[in-house]
Chain A
Amino acid sequence: MRNLVLKLHIYAGLLTFSQLMLYGIAGLVATAQTAAERPKVPHAVRYVPFTVQPGTTDRQVADDIYNTLHLPLTRPMPGWFLRRTPENDLLLDFYNINGIWRVVVLEREGRLRIEEIRNRLGLFLGDMHAVTIGDDEAPRLVRVWAVYNEFAMWCLLAFCVSGVYLWLTAQARSWWAWASLATGTASFVLMWMSFR
């Protein structure tokens, strides 16, 4: 039995190694964050000719722009997310896993201003660790990653169980391992209580 559990622990660990490394990196990235808000500085700006059809609603304009630009890995703009700039131009933020394409509809000039806001690599990896299968409307590539992420998530819980089993069945005599477990548990409990 122990041998079987050990093999499963090893093979599952190898099969989800990249995801586990990603989880560790995501934690370090989150630790290094200096504020709740993400930076939103565009790294590139370009203009594209675009004519808004007379009499169309903001939602229709947003859909037209989505169908025209074909911005990769984005999805149609939900109605509740339509906004205006201080100059009252329609503002559309098309999000994907890498950042934002910020499109300002300059109707009077007959063009779109497209700002490309790209998240740093650390934020990208942090977002990748958070992808879940609960998002049915996500782009296909993202959903593929989500499925593997789901598998890795369950493996992580299984490692907790199998790891304890392997330790206890190895005649867990080392007092320092028990001390380490006690320290981690006490830290967690104390912080939980302080937040409550």
Chain B
Amino acid sequence: MYKIIRTIHLLLASFSLPFLIMYGVSAVQMSHSTWFQMKPAVTEHELSLASGETDARIVAREIMNQLPDTKGELSNVQSAGTGLSLRIVVPGTVHEVRYDRTSGVVRVKTSVGGKMGMLNRLHHWAGFWHEPTSMKAWAIAVAIVSLGLLLVGATGIYMWFTRRPERRIGIVLLAANVAFAVTLLTLLRSAGP
């Protein structure tokens, strides 16, 4: 039984390793933002589309046709006055688009995050509601790694408990951690609303 549990712990941890490193490093970046240079590289493009368009999805598709690097998920669509503004987003890259309905002129401002910016965005990216297939694949990976983390913890507990030398101190540490966490979470949750 111990060997099976240990194998599960090893397999899940080894699969999850690059993702856990990503989550850990990006967590350090978010906790200590001044330690890292996060300024994105910004470029701008201007192109011409047909005037009079009111559908942001058509505008987005036309932009992606003319600028093949401008790929991603359409979001933040806003209609204002004589134009449309929208965003085309993939983790780490944001294309901010302003379309002038009168003239058909489109201005695309592209912000590309560096490696730390990319890690930051990947940390926040989850859920199957995103449209592109690559993002759905990422959602599957996040689900596997999240479930894997729970099982790594559970198998770790089992393996620890079978080790007599570490059992006594381990019980104290685990009890302290659980008591602290449950107490604090309960206090915070009960504060309302």
Q: Is B11 interfacial (CB-CB < 8 Å)?
A: yes
Q: Which of B20-28, B40-48, B53-61 contacts A (4 or more CB under 8 A)?
A: B20-28
The interface residues of chain A lying within 8 Å CB-to-CB of B153 are: 13, 17, 20-21, 24
Q: Which B residues fall within an 8 A CB radius of A?
A: 7, 10-25, 27-28, 30-33, 75, 90-93, 118, 122, 126-129, 134, 137-139, 141-143, 145-150, 152-153, 156-157, 160, 163, 166, 169-170, 173-174, 176-178, 180-182, 184-185, 187-189, 191-193
Q: Which of A31, A99, A196 contacts B142 (CB 8 A)?
A: A31
Q: Are A11 and B166 in contact (CB under 8 A)?
A: yes
Q: Are B7 and A174 in contact (CB under 8 A)?
A: yes
The interface residues of chain A lying within 8 Å CB-to-CB of B178 are: 17-18
Q: Are B31 and A150 in contact (CB under 8 A)?
A: yes
- Number of residues of chain A lying within 8 A (CB) of chain B: 80
Q: Are A14 and B173 in contact (CB under 8 A)?
A: yes
Closest residue of chain A to B13 (Cβ to Cβ) is A163
Please give 14 more A-B residue pairs, beta carbons under 8 A apart, in addition to A16-B177, A27-B149, A189-B18: A11-B170, A15-B176, A15-B177, A28-B143, A28-B147, A30-B127, A128-B185, A145-B188, A153-B31, A156-B20, A183-B15, A185-B18, A195-B92, A195-B118
The interface residues of chain B lying within 8 Å CB-to-CB of A183 are: 15
Q: Are B18 and A32 in contact (CB under 8 A)?
A: no
The interface residues of chain A lying within 8 Å CB-to-CB of B24 are: 153, 156-157, 160
Query: In the complex, A11→B176 CA distance in Å?
Result: 12
The interface residues of chain B lying within 8 Å CB-to-CB of A142 are: 188
* A:129-153 near B, CB below 8 Å: 130, 132-134, 141-142, 144-145, 148, 150, 153
Query: In the complex, A154→B149 CA distance in Å?
Result: 16
Q: List 24 A-B contacts (CB under 8 A).
A: A10-B160, A14-B160, A14-B173, A14-B177, A15-B174, A18-B177, A27-B143, A27-B146, A31-B126, A31-B146, A33-B129, A43-B193, A73-B188, A121-B189, A124-B188, A128-B185, A134-B33, A142-B188, A156-B23, A157-B28, A181-B14, A181-B17, A184-B19, A192-B122
Query: In the complex, A31→B127 CA distance in Å?
Result: 4
Given A31-B146, A134-B30, A185-B17, verify A98-B139 contact (CB < 8 Å).
no
Q: Are A196 and B126 in contact (CB under 8 A)?
A: no
Q: Are A191 and B126 in contact (CB under 8 A)?
A: no
Q: Are B19 and A19 in contact (CB under 8 A)?
A: no
Q: Are B192 and A72 in contact (CB under 8 A)?
A: yes
SS class, residues of chain B in contact with chain A:
helix
Query: In the complex, A130→B124 CA distance in Å?
Result: 10
Listed residue (A25, A43, A128, A195) with the most chain B CB atoms within 10 angstroms of its CB? A195
Q: Are A23 and B149 in contact (CB under 8 A)?
A: yes
A109 to chain B, nearest CB (A): 22
Query: In the complex, A44→B32 CA distance in Å?
Result: 37
Q: Are B181 and A19 in contact (CB under 8 A)?
A: yes
The interface residues of chain A lying within 8 Å CB-to-CB of B142 are: 27, 30-31
Closest residue of chain B to A3 (Cβ to Cβ) is B165
B155 to chain A, nearest CB (A): 11
The interface residues of chain A lying within 8 Å CB-to-CB of B148 are: 24
Query: In the complex, A43→B192 CA distance in Å?
Result: 11
